[in-house]
Amino acid sequence: MKEQLINGVLQFLAGKLPEQYTTDLQLYLYHQLAEYDVTKKCTDMAVREEKTYMDYLYMYLAALRMAGRSEKTIDHYKLQLGLMLHALAKPVQEITTEDLFTYLAQCKAIRQVGNRYLNNKRICFNGFFSWLQKKRHIVYNPAAALDQIHYEKKLKKPYTDEEREILRCACKRERDLALIDLLYSTGMRVGELVRLNRQDIHWDTMDCVVFGKGAKEREVYLNASSCYHLKEYLLSRTDSNPALFVSSKAPYSRLSEHGVRQMLQRLGLQAGVEKVHPHRYRATAATNALNRGMPVQDVQALLGHEDIGTTMIYCTVARDNVRTAHRRYLAA
């Protein structure tokens, strides 16, 4: 390689220098390059394998997991984005706003889904393409131009005091009574409830720490009733499972979200109370707390909401409270 370099230089200068200078130059180059290794620089460009839309999807899901999003949320994004990408079947760089709009319109026409469902899809799309744009995988976010899809927001109807007592009286197991009392006292989500262990309860201070959305922890509080019935339930257990709530039969496995929903559904049928589900206890706790004078900021902290507007959606104000307030402030 060294000789090729020197010969190339001499050929370039052939006829431009006297012969004696050419010989001197050859000897000089050999002398100067004697201590150097000369190699040819490779200028061939490496061919990068093109990423598929599924590659980008799994990269995004990994980013969500790193950000602390729950597996339930990640599974939801995986499903909605996977369906969309499979249906469009084109590189993410080529997906347009029109593509996304047409896809949503077809979902509504063919599957007869509601606007709330469609808007949730739009939110998923916007998060995905916004991340791709931020990471410079695409030039622009095609979902950014999709307008918000409006839908009727139904107020969460809380249980009345009578309904709550009817449900309590209908409980045939100490576990079920302890569970619904804990849901109401703490206002926690069902996902937070099923992740609790026995050791998480602080009996002396009547509180516990739960991990909510985004793996954020917060302190919630037990009232006297929930504390008493929870103790009675734990004393009645003979298993060694560390979970706070377990199935009623062997092998006494940790109670799942689905198991809690099924239990409450059966309880509602037995008690004659409609629409019994765990989230309704959360709405009831928030509504009662507000109506009894708890500051909305404290209710927000209790529920673990980042946005106080979310707290107000969960909470309804009793008509009697509005009537009383009107008479107090606007009577004259």
Annotated active-site residue in 65, 216, 279, 323: 279
Catalytic member of 121, 122, 280, 282? 282
The catalytic position among 195, 213, 231, 261 is: 213
Which residues contact residue 227 at a Cβ distance below 8 angstroms, ignoring those fewer than 6 apart?
Answer: 203, 206
Answer for the pair 209, 261: CB distance below 8 angstroms, yes or no. no
Active-site residue, 305 included: yes
Instruction: Determine the 3-state secondary structure of 273 from DSSP.
Output: coil
Told to judge if 279 belongs to the known catalytic residues of this protein, a careful annotator would answer yes
DSSP 77-103: HHHHHHHHHHHH-S-GGG--HHHHHHH
Q: Is 9 exposed, middle or buried (0-12, 13-18, 19+ CB in 10 A)?
A: middle
Contact status, residue 255 vs residue 173, Cβ threshold 8 Å: no
**189 given a catalytic annotation:** yes
Enumerate residues 6+ apart whose C-beta is below 8 A from 118: 104, 107, 108, 149
CA atoms of 145 and 123, how far apart (whole Å) = 12
Is 213 part of the annotated catalytic residue set?
yes
Active-site residue (options: 121, 122, 229, 305): 305
Residue 65 has, within 13 A of its CA and on its CB side, a CA count of: 10
Out of 121, 175, 189, 229, pick the active-site residue: 189
Residues known to be catalytic: 189, 213, 279, 282, 305, 314
